[in-house]
Amino acid sequence: MGIDPSAQVHASAIVDDGAVIGPGCEVGPFCTIGAQVKLGTNVVLKSHVVVTGDTEIGDETIIFPFSVIGEIPQDLKFAGEDTKLVIGKRNRIREHVTMNAGTAGGGYVTRVGDDGLFMAGCHVAHDAQIGNNVILVNNVAVAGHVVIEDDVIVGGLSGLHQWVRIGRGAIIGALSMVTADVLPHALVQGPRGELDGLNLVGLKRRGVNRADITALRAAFLMLKQGEGSFQDRAARLSEEADSEYVREMVAFITGDSDRGFLTPK
């Protein structure tokens, strides 16, 4: 408990009694760390960083100046209940990023996975669940209860509406407002985000084999042009799919959704 002897804490930093500062951590000038905060191993707070509330930050995460991590939700229903923010390992959290704790209405925990990049000015709201290898470009706003699966990129100045789910490997173009669920490996762009194909560049970068990409293309075309409703087409896909990537897409469509889906145009 307390400050590990190997940690470096600047004389101007304020660390409340009860905070846990792990081995090899660096706490820069004018940082403020609350009593319930837990920093893992080799966490770096550059300077002027506020970490408060019941907040855990995983090993080797770096947080840049003027970020505020773990403050109470921007939700008028929040009544001071005990809630948490849990951040994984090796994240890069750039300047002026804000990440809020959870609420009773959303499971009490806001959670961020490993190896993310959160560029300057991003906001992660209460009860958001963010996976691994996620990139939020400058000034992305993630509303409450949003789920972002692994390997997602959200372009700059984009907004994700409350309760929206973003499937694994999807990419959201800059300046998009996303108001419904986005299928895994999909490409969304436009001021009122529209489903505009597959994230082929991302699939190729991750080494997905040609057969799976071909199967995803055929599945997308069926969802776009097949007979019956969107859900009917997805049900038929589930009976025909051999590719694990197509099965993943079908499972996403048939899962619980609070906002409906962006469908192919």
Active site residues: 126-127, 144
Q: Torsions phi, psi of 225, nearest 5?
A: -120, -5
CA-wise closest residue to 163 among 185, 178, 183: 178
CA dihedral 158, 159, 160, 161 (to 10 degrees): -160
Contacts of 158 (CB under 8 A, 6+ apart): 137, 140, 141, 172, 173, 174, 175, 176, 177, 178, 193
CA atoms 188, 189, 194, 197: torsion sign: negative
Residue 85 token pair:
């923010």
Length of the chain in residues, anyone? Answer: 265
In angstroms, the CA 152 to CA 165 distance is: 11
In angstroms, the CA 237 to CA 139 distance is: 37
In angstroms, the CA 196 to CA 212 distance is: 19
What is each CA distance from 233 to 145, 148, 170, 250, 264, in whole angstroms? 28, 24, 20, 10, 12
